[in-house]
Amino acid sequence: MVDPTRRLRDVVFVDGARTPFGKAGPTGMYAETRSDDMVVAVIRELLRRHPELPPERVDEVAIAATTQSGDQGLTIGRNAAILAGLPTTVPGFAIDRMCAGAMTAVTAVASGIAFGAYDVAIAGGVEHMGHHPMGQGIDPNPRLMSDKLVDPSSMVMGTTAENLHDRYPHVTKQRADAYAAASQHKLATAYADGKVQPDLVPVGIRSTELGWGLATKDEPPRPGTTVEGLATLKTPFRPHGRVTAGNAAGLNDGATGCVLAAREVAEELGLPIRMTLVGYGFAGVDPEVMGLGPIPATERALRSTGLSIEDIGLFELNEAFAVQVLTFLDHYGIADDDPRVNPYGGAIAVGHPLASSGVRLMTQLARQFAEHPEVRYGLTAMCVGFGMGGAVIWENPQWEGK
């Protein structure tokens, strides 16, 4: 007979960490570094930071990658766990929801924790876009196009962003450029104030030409970015378009990871509790306007938790494209420069290594919660390739109204 006292458990975010993000390509700092070694560095750092967590108490390792081949293949959650030194009794798996891979890794293991299948789990993601360019090796079913199931533009993410500009002409290129410049400025300020560095894991890197080195800071940021400079950039997805390399996230390499646990287990082990999971939602939209995905995903998360957008005091929105964030803000009546939104800047500045980005959003939100005890709830949300969105709502354990 099943235990009649069995109940769902609270799930808490214990800690998160990430590698510095690099520029993809032969000149990027991770050009000769393996994807799985980046994940290993993150897992080891999480265990180093928390000696109170016995490695054998980790019940699952879920690691996301959008391109699951080469050094991102071989069920990366399992092989990274072994390489990181976790006992062979700790299982692992790989997961793919494109840009929301790490976010889905978190919600998947969190659901297992709530249900009682796990006590503690590690979730994260990796993307080495230098080794695995977006779309590498895919073979889309021709019926997607021949049966007109999706618009051809849905296969190119930059074109889907141009489609958003078409649908919402009040989101101009000038407005997107201004948002992008602000993201760069906010990240530069956060770096100057020492708010980014605590989340970074130094990674040993190798170059045939330069020898061994250490990656200690993000490579993509352009702190001197100005609106005037952005106005001169080319529009690669459409002649006289509005999406540029300056108002979109770049092609990047990087890995993220976090520790999740049942509240009572975290208390038993003496683990810190930085956030509590409240609810989440994933939703689909027309693939040719995939940037709208966070809106219905957020609606679903709010509906399932009984909250409203007015209850959200901090927003971590993934900046795949400036236009995508701006349509979200317009939908909810939030100003472009609202201080609650991406206080440390976003992916336009720091980078977006696809499947890894969801946990970056969560780790930054956890740090902001500690700075803002007046805020009770925060949202991490992102658009997802091929017409999806994801949103996760968190509660601040430091909330002063508790």
60-64 and 22-23 beta bridge pairing: unpaired
For 304, list phi and psi in degrees, rounded to 5.
-75, -20
Nearest to 313 by CA among 373, 397, 381: 373
Q: Is there a contact between 25 and 130 (Cβ–Cβ < 8 Å)?
A: yes
Nearest to 380 by CA among 364, 391, 366, 369: 391
The span from the first CA to the last CA of the chain, in angstroms, equals: 38
Q: Which residues contact 236 (CB under 8 A, 6 or more apart)?
A: 158, 243, 244, 245
* Residues assigned a catalytic role: 99, 352, 383
SS3 (DSSP) at 235:
coil
| Beta partners for residue 351, in sequence order | none
For the chain, give percent helix, strand, coil, nearest 5: 35, 20, 40
| DSSP string computed for 39-51 | HHHHHHHHHHH-T
H-state helical runs in 270-339: 294-305, 322-331
- What count of other Cβ atoms lies within 10 Å of the Cβ of residue 249? 28
Residues in the chain: 402
Q: Which residues contact 263 (CB under 8 A, 6 or more apart)?
A: 9, 10, 11, 12, 273, 276
